[in-house]
Amino acid sequence: VNLYSIPGYSCYETVEETFTAAQGFVASKPTLASWSDIGDSWQKKNGLGGYDMRVLKLTNSAVTGSKPKLFINSAIHAREYTTAPLVLEFARWLVNGYGTNADATWLLDHHEIHMLLHTNPDGRKRAETGLSWRKNTNQAYCGATSNSRGADLNRNFTHSWNSTGGTGSSGSQCNDTYRGPAPASEPETQAIEAYVRTLWPDSRGPNVGDAAPATTSGIHLDIHSYSQLVLWPWGDRSSAAPNGTALQTLGRKFAYFNNYTPQQSVGLYPTDGTSDAISYGELGVAAFTFELGTSFFQSCTTFNSTIKPQNLQALIYAAKVVRTPYIT
Protein backbone atom coordinates (compact mmCIF):
# COMPACT_ATOMS: atom_id res chain seq x y z
CA VAL A 1 0.00 0.00 0.00
CA ASN A 2 1.13 3.51 -0.72
CA LEU A 3 -0.82 6.01 1.31
CA TYR A 4 -0.48 8.57 -1.44
CA SER A 5 -2.42 6.32 -3.77
CA ILE A 6 -5.43 6.28 -1.41
CA PRO A 7 -8.04 8.92 -2.29
CA GLY A 8 -8.19 11.57 0.42
CA TYR A 9 -4.47 11.63 1.31
CA SER A 10 -3.02 13.47 -1.66
CA CYS A 11 -2.55 16.73 0.30
CA TYR A 12 0.52 15.35 2.13
CA GLU A 13 3.76 16.17 0.36
CA THR A 14 6.35 13.39 0.10
CA VAL A 15 9.89 14.02 1.32
CA GLU A 16 10.91 14.87 -2.25
CA GLU A 17 7.93 17.17 -2.81
CA THR A 18 8.71 18.96 0.46
CA PHE A 19 12.33 19.52 -0.58
CA THR A 20 11.28 20.69 -4.06
CA ALA A 21 8.89 23.22 -2.50
CA ALA A 22 11.64 24.52 -0.20
CA GLN A 23 14.07 24.84 -3.11
CA GLY A 24 11.33 26.68 -4.98
CA PHE A 25 11.25 29.39 -2.29
CA VAL A 26 15.01 29.82 -2.58
CA ALA A 27 14.82 30.03 -6.38
CA SER A 28 11.97 32.56 -6.44
CA LYS A 29 12.86 34.59 -3.31
CA PRO A 30 16.62 34.27 -2.72
CA THR A 31 16.62 37.30 -0.39
CA LEU A 32 14.09 35.62 1.90
CA ALA A 33 14.99 31.93 1.85
CA SER A 34 18.05 29.70 2.11
CA TRP A 35 18.33 25.92 2.21
CA SER A 36 21.29 24.44 4.05
CA ASP A 37 22.65 20.94 4.60
CA ILE A 38 23.16 20.27 8.33
CA GLY A 39 24.17 16.61 8.18
CA ASP A 40 23.26 13.17 6.86
CA SER A 41 20.45 10.79 7.72
CA TRP A 42 21.50 7.30 8.89
CA GLN A 43 20.98 5.77 5.44
CA LYS A 44 22.88 8.56 3.69
CA LYS A 45 25.77 8.25 6.11
CA ASN A 46 25.88 4.50 5.48
CA GLY A 47 25.63 4.59 1.69
CA LEU A 48 22.08 3.17 1.66
CA GLY A 49 20.30 5.98 -0.16
CA GLY A 50 18.92 8.36 2.43
CA TYR A 51 18.88 12.14 2.60
CA ASP A 52 20.73 15.25 3.57
CA MET A 53 19.22 16.86 6.67
CA ARG A 54 18.06 20.23 5.32
CA VAL A 55 17.02 23.44 7.09
CA LEU A 56 14.90 26.08 5.36
CA LYS A 57 15.91 29.42 6.85
CA LEU A 58 13.49 32.29 6.28
CA THR A 59 14.43 35.92 6.95
CA ASN A 60 14.87 39.05 4.86
CA SER A 61 18.65 39.08 4.47
CA ALA A 62 18.50 42.69 3.26
CA VAL A 63 17.66 43.68 6.85
CA THR A 64 20.84 43.02 8.82
CA GLY A 65 21.66 42.86 12.51
CA SER A 66 20.97 40.28 15.17
CA LYS A 67 17.47 38.80 15.05
CA PRO A 68 15.63 36.49 17.46
CA LYS A 69 15.27 32.92 16.23
CA LEU A 70 12.43 30.45 16.00
CA PHE A 71 13.49 26.85 15.28
CA ILE A 72 10.75 24.42 14.21
CA ASN A 73 11.34 20.75 13.49
CA SER A 74 8.72 18.33 12.23
CA ALA A 75 8.30 14.65 11.36
CA ILE A 76 10.92 13.40 13.84
CA HIS A 77 8.44 10.51 14.05
CA ALA A 78 7.87 9.21 10.55
CA ARG A 79 4.17 8.33 10.70
CA GLU A 80 3.16 11.72 12.12
CA TYR A 81 2.00 12.72 8.69
CA THR A 82 0.41 16.12 9.20
CA THR A 83 3.44 17.71 10.85
CA ALA A 84 5.78 18.57 7.95
CA PRO A 85 2.88 19.71 5.69
CA LEU A 86 1.77 22.12 8.44
CA VAL A 87 5.24 23.65 8.77
CA LEU A 88 5.59 23.85 4.99
CA GLU A 89 2.28 25.73 4.93
CA PHE A 90 3.72 28.22 7.45
CA ALA A 91 6.70 28.71 5.12
CA ARG A 92 4.32 29.41 2.21
CA TRP A 93 2.34 31.88 4.33
CA LEU A 94 5.52 33.78 5.21
CA VAL A 95 7.14 33.81 1.76
CA ASN A 96 3.98 34.47 -0.24
CA GLY A 97 2.81 37.09 2.26
CA TYR A 98 6.04 39.07 2.26
CA GLY A 99 5.41 42.59 0.95
CA THR A 100 1.61 42.33 1.08
CA ASN A 101 0.77 40.93 4.53
CA ALA A 102 2.05 43.28 7.25
CA ASP A 103 2.61 40.48 9.78
CA ALA A 104 4.55 38.26 7.35
CA THR A 105 6.65 41.25 6.27
CA TRP A 106 7.51 42.31 9.84
CA LEU A 107 8.25 38.73 10.87
CA LEU A 108 10.70 38.15 7.99
CA ASP A 109 12.36 41.55 8.30
CA HIS A 110 13.10 41.21 12.02
CA HIS A 111 13.22 37.48 12.83
CA GLU A 112 14.88 34.29 11.66
CA ILE A 113 12.66 31.25 11.23
CA HIS A 114 14.53 27.96 10.82
CA MET A 115 12.55 24.92 9.67
CA LEU A 116 13.85 21.35 9.75
CA LEU A 117 10.85 20.02 7.83
CA HIS A 118 11.98 16.40 7.72
CA THR A 119 13.81 15.51 10.91
CA ASN A 120 13.65 11.77 10.09
CA PRO A 121 13.53 11.53 6.28
CA ASP A 122 14.57 7.85 6.07
CA GLY A 123 11.76 6.84 8.39
CA ARG A 124 9.27 9.11 6.67
CA LYS A 125 10.02 7.34 3.41
CA ARG A 126 9.04 4.04 5.08
CA ALA A 127 5.84 5.62 6.43
CA GLU A 128 4.96 6.83 2.94
CA THR A 129 4.45 3.18 1.97
CA GLY A 130 1.67 3.00 4.56
CA LEU A 131 3.76 1.49 7.39
CA SER A 132 3.16 2.87 10.88
CA TRP A 133 6.84 3.76 11.23
CA ARG A 134 8.10 5.95 14.10
CA LYS A 135 11.88 5.53 14.48
CA ASN A 136 14.83 6.08 12.16
CA THR A 137 15.85 3.09 10.01
CA ASN A 138 19.17 2.17 11.68
CA GLN A 139 19.77 -1.47 10.74
CA ALA A 140 22.04 -2.11 13.74
CA TYR A 141 19.04 -2.26 16.08
CA CYS A 142 16.54 -5.15 16.05
CA GLY A 143 17.73 -6.71 12.80
CA ALA A 144 18.56 -5.19 9.44
CA THR A 145 15.27 -6.07 7.75
CA SER A 146 12.89 -5.83 10.71
CA ASN A 147 10.07 -3.30 10.50
CA SER A 148 10.70 -2.74 14.24
CA ARG A 149 14.29 -1.63 13.71
CA GLY A 150 15.83 1.75 14.47
CA ALA A 151 16.14 4.21 17.34
CA ASP A 152 13.50 6.66 18.56
CA LEU A 153 15.18 9.98 17.74
CA ASN A 154 12.99 11.71 20.34
CA ARG A 155 14.54 9.59 23.11
CA ASN A 156 18.13 9.87 21.84
CA PHE A 157 19.06 13.46 22.79
CA THR A 158 21.97 14.03 25.14
CA HIS A 159 20.30 16.13 27.82
CA SER A 160 18.39 13.82 30.19
CA TRP A 161 19.17 10.72 28.05
CA ASN A 162 17.71 7.76 30.01
CA SER A 163 17.43 10.04 33.05
CA THR A 164 14.47 8.08 34.43
CA GLY A 165 16.42 4.84 34.24
CA GLY A 166 13.96 3.20 31.89
CA THR A 167 10.45 4.57 32.43
CA GLY A 168 10.75 7.41 29.89
CA SER A 169 12.30 5.34 27.10
CA SER A 170 13.10 1.73 26.27
CA GLY A 171 16.39 -0.17 26.28
CA SER A 172 14.94 -2.84 23.96
CA GLN A 173 16.03 -2.42 20.35
CA CYS A 174 12.69 -3.48 18.84
CA ASN A 175 10.62 -1.16 21.04
CA ASP A 176 9.13 1.97 19.47
CA THR A 177 10.77 4.16 22.14
CA TYR A 178 14.23 2.53 21.94
CA ARG A 179 16.62 5.23 23.09
CA GLY A 180 19.70 3.99 21.22
CA PRO A 181 22.89 2.63 22.84
CA ALA A 182 24.33 6.02 23.86
CA PRO A 183 23.34 9.72 24.02
CA ALA A 184 23.10 11.17 20.48
CA SER A 185 24.16 7.87 18.93
CA GLU A 186 22.13 8.67 15.79
CA PRO A 187 23.37 10.97 13.01
CA GLU A 188 20.01 12.78 12.84
CA THR A 189 20.22 13.61 16.57
CA GLN A 190 23.83 14.76 16.19
CA ALA A 191 22.85 17.09 13.34
CA ILE A 192 20.02 18.70 15.34
CA GLU A 193 22.10 19.13 18.49
CA ALA A 194 24.92 20.76 16.53
CA TYR A 195 22.46 23.03 14.75
CA VAL A 196 20.61 24.31 17.83
CA ARG A 197 23.94 24.92 19.58
CA THR A 198 24.92 27.07 16.59
CA LEU A 199 21.65 29.02 16.77
CA TRP A 200 22.09 29.82 20.49
CA PRO A 201 25.88 29.64 21.08
CA ASP A 202 25.98 31.60 24.32
CA SER A 203 23.03 29.99 26.04
CA ARG A 204 23.35 27.90 29.17
CA GLY A 205 20.98 25.95 31.40
CA PRO A 206 18.78 25.81 33.27
CA ASN A 207 20.33 22.63 34.54
CA VAL A 208 18.51 20.66 37.18
CA GLY A 209 18.71 22.53 40.47
CA ASP A 210 19.58 25.89 38.92
CA ALA A 211 18.19 28.69 41.05
CA ALA A 212 17.78 31.24 38.27
CA PRO A 213 15.41 30.70 35.34
CA ALA A 214 16.67 31.16 31.79
CA THR A 215 16.22 34.49 29.99
CA THR A 216 17.41 33.62 26.47
CA SER A 217 15.29 34.84 23.59
CA GLY A 218 14.24 32.22 21.06
CA ILE A 219 11.74 29.38 20.83
CA HIS A 220 12.05 25.77 19.69
CA LEU A 221 8.89 23.95 18.54
CA ASP A 222 8.93 20.18 17.87
CA ILE A 223 5.77 19.26 15.93
CA HIS A 224 4.26 15.79 16.54
CA SER A 225 0.90 14.07 16.30
CA TYR A 226 -1.48 13.17 17.81
CA SER A 227 -3.59 14.16 20.88
CA GLN A 228 -4.37 17.90 20.53
CA LEU A 229 -1.83 18.99 23.14
CA VAL A 230 0.67 21.77 23.79
CA LEU A 231 3.50 20.39 25.97
CA TRP A 232 6.52 21.94 27.71
CA PRO A 233 9.41 20.59 29.88
CA TRP A 234 10.04 18.76 31.98
CA GLY A 235 9.11 15.36 30.62
CA ASP A 236 11.26 13.28 32.96
CA ARG A 237 10.06 14.60 36.31
CA SER A 238 6.92 16.06 37.80
CA SER A 239 8.59 19.14 39.29
CA ALA A 240 8.08 22.36 37.38
CA ALA A 241 10.92 23.68 35.22
CA PRO A 242 12.73 26.80 36.50
CA ASN A 243 10.78 28.74 33.85
CA GLY A 244 7.63 26.73 34.55
CA THR A 245 5.29 29.68 35.08
CA ALA A 246 6.43 31.48 31.94
CA LEU A 247 6.31 28.27 29.87
CA GLN A 248 2.77 27.63 31.10
CA THR A 249 1.68 31.18 30.22
CA LEU A 250 3.09 30.87 26.71
CA GLY A 251 1.73 27.33 26.29
CA ARG A 252 -1.75 28.57 27.18
CA LYS A 253 -1.46 31.26 24.51
CA PHE A 254 -0.53 28.70 21.84
CA ALA A 255 -3.50 26.65 23.06
CA TYR A 256 -5.75 29.66 22.62
CA PHE A 257 -4.94 29.60 18.91
CA ASN A 258 -5.05 25.85 18.22
CA ASN A 259 -7.72 25.03 20.83
CA TYR A 260 -5.52 22.23 22.30
CA THR A 261 -4.91 21.27 25.93
CA PRO A 262 -1.80 22.90 27.48
CA GLN A 263 0.21 20.92 30.07
CA GLN A 264 3.68 20.05 31.33
CA SER A 265 4.77 17.11 29.19
CA VAL A 266 5.26 14.60 32.05
CA GLY A 267 1.47 14.73 32.45
CA LEU A 268 1.10 12.85 29.14
CA TYR A 269 3.66 10.18 30.11
CA PRO A 270 7.28 10.25 31.33
CA THR A 271 9.91 10.77 28.63
CA ASP A 272 13.66 11.26 28.54
CA GLY A 273 16.19 12.33 25.93
CA THR A 274 13.62 14.41 24.01
CA SER A 275 14.48 17.29 21.68
CA ASP A 276 12.95 19.93 23.96
CA ALA A 277 15.31 18.80 26.72
CA ILE A 278 18.33 19.79 24.65
CA SER A 279 17.05 23.25 23.72
CA TYR A 280 15.50 24.07 27.09
CA GLY A 281 17.55 21.94 29.45
CA GLU A 282 20.96 22.58 27.92
CA LEU A 283 20.46 25.97 26.26
CA GLY A 284 17.63 27.59 28.23
CA VAL A 285 15.54 28.18 25.10
CA ALA A 286 11.75 28.00 25.54
CA ALA A 287 10.75 24.66 24.02
CA PHE A 288 7.32 23.21 23.22
CA THR A 289 5.92 20.08 21.63
CA PHE A 290 2.65 20.33 19.69
CA GLU A 291 0.59 17.15 19.25
CA LEU A 292 -1.57 17.76 16.17
CA GLY A 293 -4.97 16.24 15.54
CA THR A 294 -6.55 12.98 16.59
CA SER A 295 -4.73 10.23 14.59
CA PHE A 296 -1.51 9.56 12.66
CA PHE A 297 -3.06 9.13 9.22
CA GLN A 298 -5.60 11.91 9.17
CA SER A 299 -7.75 12.77 6.16
CA CYS A 300 -6.94 15.79 4.04
CA THR A 301 -10.41 17.13 4.75
CA THR A 302 -9.67 17.31 8.49
CA PHE A 303 -6.16 18.58 7.85
CA ASN A 304 -7.35 21.43 5.62
CA SER A 305 -10.42 22.41 7.62
CA THR A 306 -9.09 22.15 11.19
CA ILE A 307 -5.47 21.15 11.81
CA LYS A 308 -3.91 23.58 9.35
CA PRO A 309 -5.83 26.79 10.11
CA GLN A 310 -5.71 26.37 13.91
CA ASN A 311 -2.04 25.54 14.07
CA LEU A 312 -0.96 28.06 11.46
CA GLN A 313 -2.23 30.77 13.82
CA ALA A 314 -0.32 29.19 16.73
CA LEU A 315 2.92 29.14 14.67
CA ILE A 316 2.45 32.77 13.61
CA TYR A 317 1.95 33.71 17.26
CA ALA A 318 5.14 31.83 18.23
CA ALA A 319 7.12 33.81 15.68
CA LYS A 320 5.67 37.08 16.96
CA VAL A 321 6.74 36.45 20.57
CA VAL A 322 10.07 34.77 19.90
CA ARG A 323 12.05 37.83 21.04
CA THR A 324 10.66 37.72 24.59
CA PRO A 325 9.18 34.28 25.27
CA TYR A 326 9.63 34.47 29.05
CA ILE A 327 7.51 37.56 29.66
CA THR A 328 4.49 36.45 31.65
**Contact footprint for ligand ING (CB under 6 A):** 77, 154, 224, 231, 235, 265, 268, 271, 274, 276, 289, 291
In the bound state with Zn ion, the residue whose beta carbon lies nearer, of 126 and 224, is 224
Gap between the Cα atoms of 243 and 140, Å rounded: 39
For residue 1, give Cα distances in angstroms to 125, 129, 146, 323: 13, 6, 18, 45
- For Cα atoms 286, 292, 296, give the angle at the middle one, nearest 5 degrees: 135
> x/- string (CB under 5 A) for Zn ion, residues 51-80?
--------------------------x---
Sequence-separated (6 or more) residues with CB below 8 Å from residue 166: none
Taking the complex as a whole, the smallest distance from the CB of residue 134 to ligand ING amounts, in Å, to 7
Taking the complex as a whole, the smallest distance from the CB of residue 45 to ligand ING amounts, in Å, to 23
Q: What is the DSSP letter of 129?
A: T
In the bound state with Zn ion, the residue whose beta carbon lies nearer, of 108 and 292, is 292
In the bound state with Zn ion, the residue whose beta carbon lies nearer, of 155 and 224, is 224
Sequence-separated (6 or more) residues with CB below 8 Å from residue 328: 245, 246, 249
Taking the complex as a whole, the smallest distance from the CB of residue 200 to ligand ING amounts, in Å, to 19
Q: Which does 235 bind (CB under 5 to 8 A by kind): Zn ion, ligand ING, none?
A: ligand ING
In what helix (H) or strand (E) does residue 18 lie, and over which residues does it extend?
A: helix 15-28
Q: Which does 264 bind (CB under 5 to 8 A by kind): ligand ING, Zn ion, none?
A: none
Taking the complex as a whole, the smallest distance from the CB of residue 77 to Zn ion amounts, in Å, to 3
Taking the complex as a whole, the smallest distance from the CB of residue 224 to Zn ion amounts, in Å, to 3
In the bound state with ligand ING, the residue whose beta carbon lies nearer, of 119 and 265, is 265
Gap between the Cα atoms of 316 and 306, Å rounded: 16
In terms of C-beta density within 10 A (0-12 exposed, 13-18 middle, 19 or more buried), how is residue 1 classed? exposed
In the bound state with ligand ING, the residue whose beta carbon lies nearer, of 128 and 276, is 276
In the bound state with ligand ING, the residue whose beta carbon lies nearer, of 41 and 289, is 289
Residues 214-273 that bind Zn ion (CB under 5 A): 224
For residue 188, give Cα distances in angstroms to 76, 77, 277: 9, 12, 16
